[in-house]
Structure 1
Amino acid sequence: MSLLAERAEFMLRFLEEPAKIGSITPSSLFLTRKMLAGLPWERMETIVELGAGTGVFTKYMVEHKPEFCQALIIEQNYEMREKLRRRYPGFYYGAKAEDVSVLLQYFALPKADCVISGLPFAAFSRAQQHQVLLAVSQSLQPDGRFVAFQYSLQLKSVLKKYFREVKVAFMPLNFPPAFIYYCKK
């Protein structure tokens, strides 16, 4: 899929369900690299992506994960999920982020070394935020990582309830500019 077609599809899905998609455009390559480049890819056996959208992070995962690493991709939008399933048939797929720990068990996958998130937490109720973050925490290995981006700093205090370490970075080369949360269980 061309970059233009990907952006057009993302905008269409945003216009259909703005609270679920959370942005008018996919994440930039700059944001993707800053979020994911420092992860210990060579040691990852299981990785989860929440809110995969058109697959910007998924593509990076494919290019950097070891061959033995298994991936669970969560995308609530059916059309986007099915396109990703066709593009990356070797991965496992699900629709609801709050079901991530159940899906790992269902597919007989070990707990995740890392969960990557593109979910629009700012559009979620507090209860939904806690439900998803509890599921993420339960799905991670003891030293597992959670990496997410948001367009504000409002999630930081919530993340501190679930992770022993929360660091924040800023990426201005994204539309809109984004904050990246690096968390350790």
Structure 2
Amino acid sequence: MPESPRRPLPHDFHPPVASFTVVSDDVRDGETLSDAQVQAAGNTSPQLSWSGFPAETRSFAVTCFDPDAPTGSGFWHWVLFDIPASVTSLPTGAGGGDMAGLPAGAVHARNDYGSRDFGGAAPPPGDGPHRYVFTVYAVDSEKLGANADSSPAVVGFMLRFHAIGRAQLIGEYENPAAG
């Protein structure tokens, strides 16, 4: 099977906004994801911490997107928003779906697996390396205006108009061809 082409990132088509910093104890920018972030192994959302966001931030959103998925539209692995502006980190496993480790008011929308949680990396065997873009958005309002039944596209639409800052961390993962 030929290697998937490198596709644009979801926010490449959004207006420029301020950048800030996101770091993780679990994901290293440009490096291979650990088994913990792979669906068939740990399926655990990574720890994330952010700083340097705009002073006028009223809430945050966190997403994980695979632009290299062979779908024509990428694949959303995690869609979380309405995180209070006072929260600047999420612990490992906060995206588990039971809302443990998440602040009151945070909302999980359905990912492309159809569940309201973090869904780990699962590229098709032999499809080449995929990028997993963890993005933290600084938002200009306490509530984004989406809800738990909103699609990732609707959340992305709302972020296009309400993001005032953005930080990203990109891990990679490849599922080798069998045999």
Same fold by TM (over 0.5)?
Answer: no
Bigger relative contact order, structure 1 or 2, given CA contacts below 8 A and separation 6+? 2
TM-score norm. by structure 2 comes to 0.31
Query: Which has more helix, going by share of residues?
Result: 1
TM-score norm. by structure 1 comes to 0.30
